Chain A
């Protein structure tokens, strides 16, 4: 009896596996699109014990899931050359990263926003102790469903759409179709960047608007929902969605670097006080041309070192 039951289970399992193998293409895509939201807690840290490098110790980083892939990849390279250094990179979100670095639970807190924007009021003191290291830039573009019929939107048009004043694409020169907003949650760093630099104002959530927290899901929803509008980091853009020009400016890496396209934000790696020797070496390594023009670009970020403009926490942009 027990034996037969096992067989039934095994049969069921194999048939399921076989089925999933048939639909592998589709499933693979789905899994990939969710990557942005998953929390890969531990990277596979190599355990070689050979010495030769001067540095030894461990670094714990946590926070932004948008920055996580870059830090993970650079960490692995860094550990290859410095065998005695162990770097763990965790996700959790910008808020978590900042909280943990402020409380010295981690060495590096990764964040999509300036610490001052998250640690406010009672926590403002904590933000002062943190030292900012801007390692990359992420630009965000407004995108729509391919059939919305609009190529470019002005700042005012975007504000009208995201505040609910304009609810049909024909009012901004597109098709006669209802606009469906696909937003990020109000606590999200991507949303803060978009609202701060594209809209110039905070927006309330509207009845009927959709909120998703991973870029993959947002892209999927915008591509599938007729009349959808949303915003995505440049690295997520492809043909399944229509990239909209902002005030006539194409959201491209060149335009971001030269300062023509304003909707971008730094990716921050915060340390509590000045970093110690190992952390400093790691942060310096990220800023080397090898990483900045290699891994940073490869993973779809814009190198912070190439930016011809800089921006402070108040949003003031200055030419370098």
Chain B
């Protein structure tokens, strides 16, 4: 009694398994190739500024004079690096308290309708295109700042305000997830000891979830650091370290988007822009490393 055909036939679930694995491996491989080639492309273009001998790396990183079209061109990118850090830090300082409060509201104070109402609203914020943020900034925030503070309203303050709204959803959703994953018994024991809600939040919930919340803040900062269009529209784009928050300044992303299309590939200015892209990418790596470190510190 030999069953001939059964031997040759591959079982259905084996086939599925094989196809699934092959498809998965293909996707992962493609992803790795894309990432590696992107890093390689930006790095090789970015480094060529320094290898071609046009600019010294110290001059690029710490020089304060950006005048690529001048008679003696100089490529000091410090104003842009400083501008990027400035707007990012201020945006995080504005957005973090707001986001953490929103997250607490959704998870601790009114977990029912608070979450149902607030979450879609905040998620909607992340779906708005950045050009819309830019125009709202230009039409609302800039005139407001112009009338309230000395200066033309344009500058780091306007950029940071626009960015803070843009990074709200990132910080809020990460913080809300962190708060929701907090074991219920921690809170219950705090309440059992007679602590008020405020004491529980301030002494138990926030300290325990601090690393996870900081993860959200760092992710938000990474987003702010890389945002180009909205910032470019409201920051003014003068290549100088600003003397005040209400004076025209630039970020790495704004100068790249402003000049990349107008310069020809391979020209020193174009290469310098790629070097800035490299700086941006390296900063993103730093942000990712920070997130990793924070995750390791996570106590829960």
CA gap between A5 and B232 in the complex, in Å: 36
A187 near B238 (CB under 8 angstroms)? Answer: no
Kindly state whether residue A310 has any CB partner on chain B within 8 Å. no
Contact of B238 among A34, A207, A217 (CB under 8 A): A207
Residue of chain B at shortest CB distance from A112: B262
CA distance A224 to B153 in the complex (A): 11
Given contacts A185-B259, A186-B69, A208-B238, A16 and B124 within 8 Å (CB-CB) = yes
CA distance A120 to B259 in the complex (A): 17
Instruction: Tell me, in angstroms, the Cα distance from A205 to B270 when the chains sit together.
Output: 18
- Give the residues from 209 to 250 in chain A that come closer than 8 angstroms, CB to CB, to chain B: 209-213, 217, 220-221, 224-225
Contact between A95 and B262 (Cβ–Cβ < 8 Å)? Answer: yes
Q: Once the chains bind, are A210 and B248 in contact (CB under 8 Å)?
A: yes
Which residues of chain A from 280 to 304 have a CB within 8 Å of any chain B CB? Answer: none
- The A174-220 residues at the B interface (CB cut-off 8 A) are 180, 185-189, 202, 204-213, 217, 220
User: Does A119 contact B262, Cβ atoms closer than 8 Å?
Assistant: no
Chain B interface category by residue count: 35 or more
Cβ–Cβ < 8 Å partners of B120 in chain A: 5, 8-9, 12
Interface 1/0 per residue, A160-175 and B, CB below 8 Å? 0000000000000000
Contact A212 B237 (CB under 8 A): yes
Residues of A contacting B138 with CB < 8 Å?
217, 220-221
Measured CB to CB, the nearest residue on chain A to B261 is A93
A187, A188, A217 pick with most chain B CB within 10 angstroms = A187
A5 to B121, CA, bound (A): 12
Interchain nearest-CB distance for B58 vs A (Å):
22
Q: Say how far B179's CB is from chain A's closest CB, in angstroms.
A: 19
Is the pair B124, A120 in contact by a Cβ cutoff of 8 Å? no
Contacts of A213 in B (CB 8 A): 232, 257-258
What CA separation (Å) do A318 and B19 show in the bound complex?
72
Contact with B along A89-124 (1 / 0, CB 8 A): 001111110110011000000000000001111110
Check B116 for interface membership: any CB of A closer than 8 A: yes
Q: Is the CB of A95 within 8 A of B152?
A: no
Instruction: Give B228-246 interface residues, CB cut-off 8 Å to A.
Output: 232-233, 236-240, 243
Whether A30 sits at the interface, judged by CB under 8 Å, is yes
Q: How far is the CA of A225 from the CA of B152 in the complex (A)?
A: 7
A118 and B69 alpha carbons, distance in the complex (Å): 11
Which residues of chain B are near A208, meaning CB under 8 Å? Answer: 238, 240, 247-248
Residues of chain B in range 261-294 having any CB-CB distance to chain A below 8 Å: 261-267, 269-270
The answer to whether B143 touches A224, judged by C-beta atoms less than 8 angstroms apart, is yes
In the bound complex, residues from chain A placing their C-beta under 8 Å from that of B267 are: 95, 118, 120-121, 123
B237-A210 in contact (CB<8A)? yes
- Shortest Cβ distance from B67 into A: residue: A204
Tell me if B131 is interfacial: C-beta within 8 Å of chain A: yes
B258 touches A185 (CB 8 A): yes
Cβ contacts under 8 Å, B261 to chain A: 65, 91-96
Q: Looking at the assembled complex, report how far the CB atom of B244 sits from the nearest CB atom of chain A, in whole angstroms.
A: 10
A211 near B67: Cβ-Cβ < 8 Å: no
B residues in contact with A119, CB < 8 Å: 264
Q: In the bound complex, do residue B237 and residue A185 qualify as a contact, i.e. CB atoms below 8 Å apart?
A: yes
A103, B120: Cα distance in complex, Å: 48
In the assembled complex, the Cα of A187 lies from the Cα of B268 at a distance in Å of 12
Q: Which of A1-58 contact B (CB under 8 A)?
A: 4-5, 8-9, 12-13, 16, 30, 34
- Closest chain A CB from B42 CB (angstroms): 17
User: Which chain B positions have C-beta within 8 A of A210?
Assistant: 152, 154, 236-238, 248
In the complex the two chains form, what is the Cα distance from A122 to B69 in whole Å? 16
**Given the complex, which residues of B lie within 8 Å of A185, measured CB to CB?**
237, 255, 258-259, 262
Q: In the complex, which residues of chain B have a beta carbon less than 8 angstroms from the beta carbon of A13?
A: 124
B260 interface neighbour in A8, A93, A211, Cβ under 8 Å? A93
Chain B positions within 8 Å of A, measured between CB atoms, are 66-71, 116-117, 120-121, 124, 131, 135, 138-139, 142-143, 146, 152-154, 232-233, 236-240, 243, 247-248, 255, 257-267, 269-270
For the A-B complex with A121-B267, A224-B143 known, give 16 more contacts whose Cβ atoms are closer than 8 Å.
Answer: A8-B120, A16-B124, A91-B261, A93-B261, A95-B262, A95-B263, A99-B266, A119-B264, A120-B267, A185-B237, A185-B258, A186-B69, A207-B238, A213-B257, A220-B138, A225-B153
21 pairs from A and B in contact (CB 8 Å cutoff): A8-B116, A8-B117, A30-B135, A95-B261, A99-B266, A118-B264, A180-B152, A186-B67, A186-B68, A186-B69, A187-B68, A202-B69, A202-B70, A205-B238, A207-B243, A208-B247, A208-B248, A209-B236, A210-B154, A211-B248, A221-B138
Q: Lowest 7 CB-CB distances: which A-B pairs, in order? A: A93-B261, A187-B262, A211-B237, A99-B265, A210-B236, A186-B69, A95-B263
Q: List residues of A whose CB falls within 8 A of some B CB.
A: 4-5, 8-9, 12-13, 16, 30, 34, 65, 91-96, 98-99, 102-103, 118-123, 180, 185-189, 202, 204-213, 217, 220-221, 224-225
